[in-house]
Structure 1
Amino acid sequence: MPDVTREVQFDTVHGPSLVAQASVSSATLTLGVEEEFLLVDPRTGRVVPAAREIRERAAGAGADRLVFELTQFQLESNSAVHATLGGLHGDLLEMRRAAAGAAAGAGLALLACGTPLDGNAGVPPLSPCPRYQAMHREFGAVMRGQGVCGCHIHVGIADREEALRVSNHLRPWLPAVQALAANSPIADGRDTGYASWRALMMGRWPSAQPPPFFRSLRHYESLVDGMLAGGSIMDRGMIYWLIRLSDHVPTLEIRAADVCPTAGEAVMLAGLVRGLAETALRDVRAGVPAPDVEDTLLHAAYWRAARDGVDGHALDLLAGVRVPAWRLVDRLLEHVRPVLEENGDWTPLTLQLDRLRHSGSGAARQRAAYARHGRLREVTELLMTQTAASCWA
C-alpha cells in the first residue's frame, strides 16, 4: 500500500515565501469548505461501508470535524471559517490526513474522487439516518448509484438579499468552476466519456441544477415553498441548486464542483470562487446588473463542462460561442484579477493553476493512470497518493 502522506510529484511545495503570501490576505469575505470522500479497498478500488469505524479510529487535528454522509462508504470533512487561503489549506490537509490515516489503519483507503470507481449500481448502503431512509422511500430509483462526492464552498455573506444578487452574477461562471474541478471520469469499472460523471449523477435529483435568476429573497423563498409543496424536495436540506443560501450559517454555498484530488486544488478552487464572489459583491453594490443568462443555455454550458472538463471545450455564455475550456478559465482569471491582486491571492492561485495546466486535470490524471494497463488499482493508488498529499503554493 502506498504511503498516504507522501508528496505527489506534480504538486510539491515551492517555498516559504509563497506560503507566507497565501497566509496573509486582505479579502473581505471568509471561506469554508466541505469535502466528501470515498472509503475503498485499496486492492480493488471497490467502496467499503466502513464510515463508522473510520470515524471512530480518526484522531488528531481535524478528526472531530469528520462527519457521516449519505452512504456508509463516504465521509465528509467540514472546515473551520478562514480568512486566508494558507489557513484553509492547512485545515483541509489536517482533516484529509486524519481520515486517510484512520482508513489505512483499517486496511482501507480514503479517495478524493467524485464517483466510485468499480461498481455502485444498486441502492447504496445508506447511513443509519431516518432522513436518508425517507429519501429512499420517496425518490426510489434515483437513489441507485448515488454516493458521489463533491466540494462545497461557503463564502461569508450575511445579508441574504445581497447574497442572492451575488448568486445572479456567479451563474455564468458555474461551468468554468465545474470544468476546473472535474474529477470523476470512471464509474462502474470503465471510462464514462465524461470528465465529471458525478455531475450527471447529481443531476438526477429534481433540484440539482444551476440556480434560477433570483428577483429577490421573496422570489427565492417562493420557489423553495413550491418545491416543498410539490414534493420535489423533502426539506430545505434538499435544495441542491449549484448555488444556494445556507440555512444554518450566514453564507452563500457554491456546489458545482467534484471533490478535488488534492487539498491544494480545493484551495485554488475556493480562492477563485471567493474572487468571483468579491467581484460580484462590488458590482452589486455599484449597481452593475448581473447578466441574465437563459436557463437553457446555462444548462447546456454546465453539461459541456461536465463532459469535457478543462481538457476539451466550453460554452462561453457571455460571448455565445464554443471555446477551448482553458480560454474560459483565462477569462475568469482576468475577471477576478483586480480582487485577487488586492487580496494577495493572485500569485499563489496562478501558480496552482499553472501546475494544473502542466500536470493535467483530476479527470485527465485518472484517465492516464487507467490507460497505462487498464487496471483500476493504478487509479486507486494515484488517488490515494493525491488525497493526503501536501500541495499548496
Structure 2
Amino acid sequence: MALTALSPAEVAATVAGQTVTVGVEEEFLLLDPVSWHNAPLCEAARDALPPAVRERSRIEFRRSMMEMVSPVCTGLRQLRRHLLENRSAAADAAAAVGARLVAVAATPLGEADTSVVDTPRFHAISRHYGPIAHDPALCGCHIHVGVPDRELAIQVCNAIRPWLPVVQALTANSPFHAGADTGHASWRGIALERWPSLGPSPYLESAEDYERTVEELVATGVMLDASMVLWWARPSLRYPTVEVRVGDVCPTTEDAVLVAGLVRALVATAVAGIAAARPAPGVPDHLLRAAHWNAAHAGLDGTLIDLRRRAARPAWELVDELVATVGEALDQHGDRDDVTAGLVRLRRHGNGAARQRRAFAKGGGVPGVLAELAAVTTSG
C-alpha cells in the first residue's frame, strides 16, 4: 500500500460507509487415514488439485499442511461459496494421494517428518529459528479486510487490539496435542508464543514507526526479514488489507464465515472511529498478552479479560459486546442475520475445542475426534 498525502482520519473519512472487501486464507492438516498422524504429502496434494483451484492454493512451511485462499469477496454468501469450493477440492486432492484433509489447528497425535518444504526461504527460516521451526504443524485462519492505505491500516490495527482475544476465543479449535487434552482450548495459540515475531501487534504511531520497528527487530535477529511480521493483526505486505491472523482454522465453513463477518465489521468500525477522530483504546502490552493467553486457554468456556475495564468477565458477555460494538457495520454490509445465526449455532454447540472434547467423550479417543473433524471440514 502506498502512503498518501492525506492523514489517516482524512483517508478514513473517504472510505467510511463503503463496502469493505474480505478474503480468507485457511490452513489445513493432511492426516493419514489409518494412524491419523500428520502425512507429509502437500506437494502431491497440490499437484492433484484442478488447475483453476491450484491457483487458490499456497505452498506452506510444513509438508503436512495445505493452504487454500479465497478470492476477494464483497459478501458473506459469496465468501461461503468460495470456501466450500476450496475445502471440497482440497479434500478430494488429499484423498487422491491417500490422506484426509482436516480443519484442526494443532497436530493432534504426532508428526514424524518435521522437514520444511524445499524452498530457499523456508530453509533460511529453519536455520535461523532452529528447533521451534520444527515443532509439530499448526494451522490458522487469516482474514484479510480491505484497507486502501498503509497509514490507515496501522491505525486500524491499533484500534482493534482490545477485541482480538475475543476473536481468538471464538475460533479456538486445538485442544489436543500428542494424543492428549492439553487443558487449553487453542494449543496453537499457546505453542506459537515460542516464536519471537508472533503475538499481539504493538501500538504504532504511523507507517514510519512501523518501518522503524520492523527494521529494529530485523537488526536484532528477532525477525529474519520484514516478511516475518507475524503479529495477530498487521498491514499485509502483499495486499491493500489489514490481515487478522489470530484465529485457529475453523472446523466448518460456517464458522469461518461467521468470524470473517465479525472481523470485517470490526475493521469497518475502526475505520469509522478513526474518521470521527476517536482515539484507539490504550492497552498495556502485558495485559494484552495476558488476555491472549487466557483466550487460548479458556476459549468460550470461562472468562475472558475485558481490556477496557481490565477485569475478567464471562466470555459470552464480551462476545455480545463485540457484536453490539460492530452492529452498525454489520447492518451496513447486510451481515447481521448471518452473524446472528452463526453465533446462535456457536452458543448452542460450542467452538471447535468444545466440539472436539465432546467427540472425545464418546470414547473413540483422538482418532474418533479426527474422523468427525474430517467429515465436517467440507460441510456447509
Deviation of 1:141 (Å): 1.7
Q: Distance in 2 between matches of 1:374 and 1:352?
A: 28
Query: Structure 1 residue 145 and structure 2 residue 145: aligned?
Result: no
Q: Which amino acid aligns with 1:283?
A: G
1:89 corresponds, among 76, 80, 95, to 80
The corresponding residue for 1:365 is 355
Q: State yes or no: 1:132 paired with 2:118.
A: no
CA contact (8 A) 2:41 2:97 kept: no
CA displacement, residues 271-311 of structure 1 (integer Å, 9 cap, x when unaligned) = 10010000110000110011011101100101000001012
Give the 3 Å change call, closer, same or farther, for CA 213–71 of structure 1 in structure 2.
Answer: same
Q: How has the CA–CA distance of structure 1 residues 314 and 40 changed in structure 2, closer, same or farther, with 3 Å as cutoff? A: same
Aligned to 2:142, the other structure's residue is in SS state strand
Aligned equivalent of 2:53:
62
1:303 to 293, 310, 316: 293
Which position in structure 1 is the counterpart of 2:250? 260
Contact 1:61 1:98 (C-alpha < 8 Å) held by counterparts: no
How far does residue 87 in structure 1 lie from its aligned partner after superposition? Answer: 0.6
Residue identity opposite 2:341 in structure 1: L
Q: Which amino acid is 1:75 matched to?
A: M
* Structure 1 position 221 matched with structure 2 position 221: no
User: Structure 1's 123 and 217: CA in aligned 2 closer, same or farther, altered over 3 A?
Assistant: farther
d(CA) in 2 for partners of 1:123 and 1:44? 14
User: 1:129 Cα deviation (Å)?
Assistant: 1.1
What is the letter of the counterpart of residue 35 of structure 1? E
Q: Partner of 2:228 in structure 1?
A: 238
SS state at 1:134 partner: helix
Q: C-alpha displacement at 1:105, in angstroms?
A: 2.3
Correspondence 1:137-216 to 2 at 5 A: 137-216=127-206
1:119 corresponds to which residue? 110
Tell me, yes or no, if the aligned pair for 1:63 and 1:99 is still in contact at 8 Å: no
- Residue of structure 2 in register with 1:22 after alignment: none
Is contact 1:58–1:99 with CA below 8 Å preserved after alignment? yes
Alpha-carbon distance, 1:62 to partner? 3.0
Q: What is the CA–CA distance in structure 2 between the aligned matches of 1:128 and 1:116, rounded to whole Å?
A: 21
1:19 corresponds to: none
Given that residues 85 and 271 in structure 1 are in contact (C-alpha distance below 8 angstroms), is that contact kept between their aligned partners in structure 2? yes
Q: 2:283 aligns with which of 286, 289, 293?
A: 293
On the 8 A contact 1:123/1:146 being kept in 2, the answer is no
Tell me the residue number matched to 2:30: 39
Contact 1:63 1:98 in 2 (8 A): no
Q: Please give the alpha-carbon distance, in whole angstroms, between the structure 2 residues aligned to 1:134 and 1:218.
A: 27
2:126·2:134 contact (CA, 8 Å) conserved in 1? Answer: no
Amino acid of the structure 1 residue aligned with 2:288: L
What's the counterpart of residue 39 of structure 2? Answer: 48
Q: Which amino acid aligns with 2:34?
A: R
Q: Percent identity over the alignment? A: 44
**d(CA) in 1 for partners of 2:233, 2:37:** 31
Match for 2:95 among 104, 115, 121?
A: 104
CA contact (8 A) 2:175 2:187 kept: yes
Structure 1: stretches of 5+ with no match in the other structure: 1-25
1:279 equivalent among 269, 273, 278: 269
Per the TM alignment, residue 27 of structure 1 is displaced from its structure 2 partner at its CA by 5.5
State the TM-score, normalizing by the size of structure 1: 0.90
Residue of structure 1 aligned with 2:69, choices 61, 66, 78: 78
Q: 1 CA distance for matches of 2:187 and 2:107?
A: 10
Supply the AA of the counterpart residue of 1:350: T
Unaligned runs of at least 5 residues, structure 2: 1-16
CA distance, structure 2, for counterparts of residue 217 and residue 235 of structure 1: 17
Give the 3-state SS of the residue equivalent to 1:62 in structure 2. Answer: helix
Q: Does the CA-based 8 Å contact 1:38-1:111 persist in structure 2?
A: yes
1:94 to 1:61, Cα distance in 2 relative to 1, 3 A: farther
Tell me which residue corresponds to 2:260: 270
CA contact (8 A) 1:242 1:254 kept: yes
Contact 1:35–1:151 at 8 Å: present in 2 too? yes
RMSD between aligned alpha carbons? 1.4
**Deviation (angstroms), 1:55:** 0.9
Number of the residue aligned with 2:325: 335
> Displacement, 1:61?
5.7
Change (3 A) 1:112 1:188: same
Deviation of 1:220 (Å): 0.8
